[in-house]
A and B are shown apart, each in its own frame.
Chain A
Amino acid sequence: MNRRVTVAYLVGLGLLLLAPMFIYPILVMKVLCFALFACAFNLLLGYTGLLSFGHAAFLGTAGYVTGHALKVWELPTLLGLLAGTVAAAGLGWVIGSLAIRRQGIYFAMVTLALAQMVFFFFLQAPFTGGEDGLQGVPRGTLFGLDLADDIKLYYLVVAIFAGSFWLIQRTIHSPFGQILKAIRENEPRAISLGYDVARYKLLAFVLSAGLAGLAGATKTLVFKFATLTDAHWHTSGEVVLMTLLGGMGTVFGPVVGATVIVTLQNELADKVGSLVTVIMGAIFVICVLAFRRGIVGESLALYKRVIGQKPL
């Protein structure tokens, strides 16, 4: 990474650190959780070309495992987060190994169906509290700081987000990331070059699931609550929408998409009620028909046209 980019990241981080002075911190934390979720998803869709329609399963699983670990086993906060992340990655390995047996549309349907199975499992399993959700998860402490204070928790969430974002960046630019892109562009060719495509796909899937899990675990900490909504297929659809709207296969796209969608939902929920779903659907349709590169992708393209050079 060159210096300019590093400076830019630092400025962004600085703004994030100041944000709770102006904005309701819970809302920013929610945005960050979904931004991480979407970034994790983008790793799969944008950089490997796999459309998973069941990513909510990982968000939900990690949420429940973390919630259970903190509430019932009374683990320290960091271990609780880790437990959720590992559980999601493990589930990612199981679902991934099944799903990569099919491609394209079938892959999407298989992940959707398996995620629905996970959803029903959580609906019935006694430790999740079913419809009531897993309530009253304690946030615990970190290095002696009481995380019950929203502001202290906020900085932990920012740290988690920044760390994961950095990890995703590194992955994309690593040789591993390059192979993933090769698979996305032309799978038969990647095979003929001697790459074990199935293994790479599975690895990407597990990594993506784990990071999605981290997002879910963090979300449980923020809301002190693990719920079925997180495991519902609606959430799987939402993360596709965030990535598509922001720009799939771009670094910042998912972050922008998640910010826009979460903010929209927050602002509109009381004003238009269930029409929010209609608006989300309409954004989906417009993106697919006319706006396939998403906000970031289109902005980059516009920049390129106007200035006549490739940005960055």
Chain B
Amino acid sequence: MTKRKLLALAISALLLPAAGSAMAQAKGKISGDVVKVAVLTDMSGVYSDLGGKGSVLAAEMAIEDFKAQFKPKFKIELVSADHQNKADVGSNKVREWYDTQGVDMVTDVLNSGVAIAVAKVTTEKNKIMLNTGAASTRLTNEDCAPNNVVHYVYDTYALANGPGKAVTKQGKDTWFFLTADYAFGHSLEKDTMEAVKANGGKVLGAVRHPLNASDFSSFLLQAQASKAKVIGLANAGGDTINSIKAANEFGITKGQTLVGLLTTVVDIHALGLQTTQGMMFTEGFYWNLNKETREFSRRFFSKHKKMPNMLPAGTYSAVMHYLKAVQATGTDDTAAVMKQMKATPINDPFAKGGRIREDGRMIHDMYLVEVKKPAESKEPWDYYHVKQVIPGDQAFQPMSASRCAAVAKK
């Protein structure tokens, strides 16, 4: 008899989690009368300064602004989670969101490895992913999903071309890469190599480092030994910051030029102008461009104590664009909302005349910037000279070069 009791105990333990999660399945124009937006990002890791809590805040701001402006009849809810830069954690979370929480759209999703996994789940469950964080061009090429995924802010192609061209043309024409060893780094390395070669430069080699590496010195020694004129940093966030610091310690910056291929205003803030002056790279957003960007950024700054870079700014824009499409179509049905979003131009602090192309790429202007000298900076966060506005149709990979099977078939 007793063994059965024991079994019952074990089994009731198995059944415990039942309480929390009932399947949310409701029919109607807007499922459950709630539009659920989810922010999946890196809250505590090496990229948390790029997106993280800033992205969640930006999504909150977008929802608030939308409510104030449009007085929608439906409810809007926001959930967020930390994927810890692990593709499995991210995709499992999103699967659970779609299956049990009725989430309609997920955004931010920085870290390309995570994003590619989440895009797969999103396609499988036929939901929407507005990727404002991940960079890999695989998301609109090999792993494209034009009916479900929008690549909203930037990509490795756009990042590669600005400095790949500008720096090589300055005569710094031999490159060596220090690359984060996962989807993002590989894409950025590949796209930059192509840009360098297209502009008459030479690639001498590359060394891969793990994400969130603790010590960059040995990798940098390899880069130094290559005798390349330029060391391209195909990494991001904390990894870029640490590579630049280690390069200074080993005196590498004296003979070779470092190019942080994905650098944003928060990285410059962390490193200081003394270390970064003169660096050139592509940005998708700068807070000090015009009145509208300044207004938005100051509002963001008052809550976050940091100026927004292109990730939160893009997240704000994406959430807004999505909600407007839901409002216009009166449904959260994926196909209808995607159609509406692609049909409507985007005009907000982040993008002027932005449009979503058939492969899911959002086309908008990018900026080639140069970091100011300490003396030139007039106020905190005044960091960039905008050297060139790269028009959207030149900044991104042209459709003719697309490797996206779903679009090419047409």
Contact = CB atoms under 8 A, between A and B. Distances in A.
Report A-B touching, CB under 8 Å: yes
Interface of A: 4-5, 7-9, 11-12, 15-16, 19, 22-24, 26-28, 31, 123, 130-133, 135-136, 223-225, 227-229, 252, 255-256, 259-260, 263, 266-267, 269-270, 273-274, 296, 299-300, 303, 311-312
Interface string B81-120: 1100011110110011001100000000000110011001
A269 B93 CA distance: 10
Nearest to B84: A274
Residue picked from B4, B13, B44, B95, most chain A C-beta under 10 Å: B13
Given A27-B21, A223-B88, 18 more contacts: A15-B15, A16-B14, A19-B14, A22-B15, A23-B15, A24-B23, A26-B92, A26-B96, A224-B120, A225-B88, A227-B88, A228-B86, A256-B13, A270-B81, A273-B44, A274-B44, A311-B2, A312-B3
Residue picked from B16, B20, B86, B117, most chain A C-beta under 10 Å: B117
Contact of A24 (B8, B15, B99, B113): B99
A135 B87 contact: yes
A5 B181 contact: no
Contacts of B26: none
B370 to A, nearest CB: 32
A256 B10 contact: yes
* 7 interchain residue pairs of minimum CB distance: A131-B182, A132-B113, A227-B88, A22-B18, A8-B4, A311-B2, A23-B18
Contact of A11 (B4, B43, B181): B4
The secondary-structure label for the interface of chain B is helix
A7 B21 contact: no
B252 interface: no
A24 B3 contact: no
A227 B1 contact: no
B120 A135 contact: yes
Contacts of A22: 15, 18
The secondary-structure label for the interface of chain A is helix
A131 B211 contact: yes
A129 to B, nearest CB: 8
Interface in B185-206: none
Contacts of B7: 8-9, 11-12, 252
Given A28-B14, A225-B91, A273-B43, A123 B210 contact: yes
Contacts of B43: 273
A227 B7 CA distance: 33
Contacts of A131: 87, 113, 181-183, 210-211
B14 A252 contact: no
B174 to A, nearest CB: 27
B221 to A, nearest CB: 19
A225 B7 CA distance: 32
